[in-house]
Amino acid sequence: MTQYRAVLFDLLTAVLDSWSLWNAAAGSTEVGRRWRGAYLRRTYACGAYRPYETLVAEAAADADVDLTAVAQLEQRWTSLAPWSGVRDTLADLRTTHQLAVVTNCSQRLGRMAADLVGIPFDVVVTAERAGFYKPDPRPYRQALDELGVDAGDALFVAGSGYDLFGTAVVGLDTYWHNRIGLPAPPGAPPATITSSTIEPLLTMARS
């Protein structure tokens, strides 16, 4: 017996190394992180869905990033790859748990990114499909409903600390896979567990 029946994942920061993608599109790590930070702030404050590509472009303007980087981001999208250890961990989890994605992305790019993981998900909820961006509770709840599980029977794997606001409202235990050592946003509720690697997730999910 396991504590959880399902594990839900933030796709673009907890599962895939999208930081390297943004850095490559921007031309440097410094500029890429500044742009991505501006994007995260815009997206997690957005609420109702607006086109993902629009938010990415607006964040570029916020961060004083040349708009050619926006085109580069989409052109390089298929270069997204899982963080080390992620594919093996998800393959192992899939033998005992349902797996889902809840991602702040367009439907087209979200499906493309989920396919790049190489492990099938039972449910993929994008912000576009849900009609709202996280941390609004509706995308998380849509994934739970489609899986047929209650929040108490599921675990969420966050990549950004902004998810902690939404998972706290929904009542999801949260494993923060904080791969690059991001600071928690001001006022964010604590994660159940925070780790710079994905492997301890197996123990938590099966405890």
Does the pLDDT value for residue 68 go beyond 70? yes
Q: Is 97 part of any domain?
A: yes
Among 101, 148, 110, smallest CA distance to 128 is for: 110
Report the pLDDT averaged over residues 81-104: 97
Work out the angle at residue 10's Cα, subtended by the Cα atoms of residues 145 and 72, and round it to the nearest 5 degrees: 130
CATH number at residue 41: 1.10.150
- What pLDDT, on the 0 to 100 scale, is given for residue 44? 86
Does the pLDDT value for residue 111 go beyond 60? yes
Predicted TM-score (pTM) above 0.75: yes
Cα–Cα distance, 158 to 176 (Å, whole number): 5
Question: Do residues 155 and 140 make contact, with C-beta atoms less than 8 angstroms apart?
Answer: no
Report the pLDDT averaged over residues 7-25: 97
Query: Which segment of 38-42, 103-107, 124-128, 172-176 scores lowest on mean pLDDT?
Result: 38-42
Does the pLDDT value for residue 101 go beyond 90? yes
Neighbours of 149 (CB within 10 A): 18
- What pLDDT, on the 0 to 100 scale, is given for residue 202? 95
- What pLDDT, on the 0 to 100 scale, is given for residue 2? 62
Question: Do residues 164 and 174 make contact, with C-beta atoms less than 8 angstroms apart?
Answer: yes
**Quick one: 198 and 115 in the same domain?**
yes
**Quick one: 131 and 181 in the same domain?**
yes
Q: Is 1 part of any domain?
A: no
**Quick one: 120 and 51 in the same domain?**
no
Does the pLDDT value for residue 163 go beyond 80? yes
List pLDDT tens digits, range 134-149.
999 999 999 999 999 9
Give the residue numbers spanning the domain of 48: 18-77
Does the pLDDT value for residue 93 go beyond 50? yes
List pLDDT tens digits, range 71-91.
999 999 999 999 999 999 999
For all residues of the chain together, what is the average pLDDT?
95
Cα–Cα distance, 194 to 50 (Å, whole number): 30
200-204 long-range contacts, CB within 8 A, separation 24+: 200/175, 201/7, 201/89, 201/93, 201/157, 201/175, 201/177, 202/89, 202/92, 202/93, 204/155, 204/175
**Quick one: 106 and 194 in the same domain?**
yes
**Quick one: 152 and 182 in the same domain?**
yes
- What pLDDT, on the 0 to 100 scale, is given for residue 6? 98
Which helix (H) or strand (E) element contains residue 97? none
- What pLDDT, on the 0 to 100 scale, is given for residue 1? 43
- What pLDDT, on the 0 to 100 scale, is given for residue 135? 95
Q: How many separate domains does the chain show?
A: 2
**Quick one: 186 and 136 in the same domain?**
yes
- What pLDDT, on the 0 to 100 scale, is given for residue 61? 96
- pLDDT band at 3; cut points 50, 70, 90: confident
* Domain final position from 60, 77, 94: 77
* Domain final position from 52, 77, 102: 77
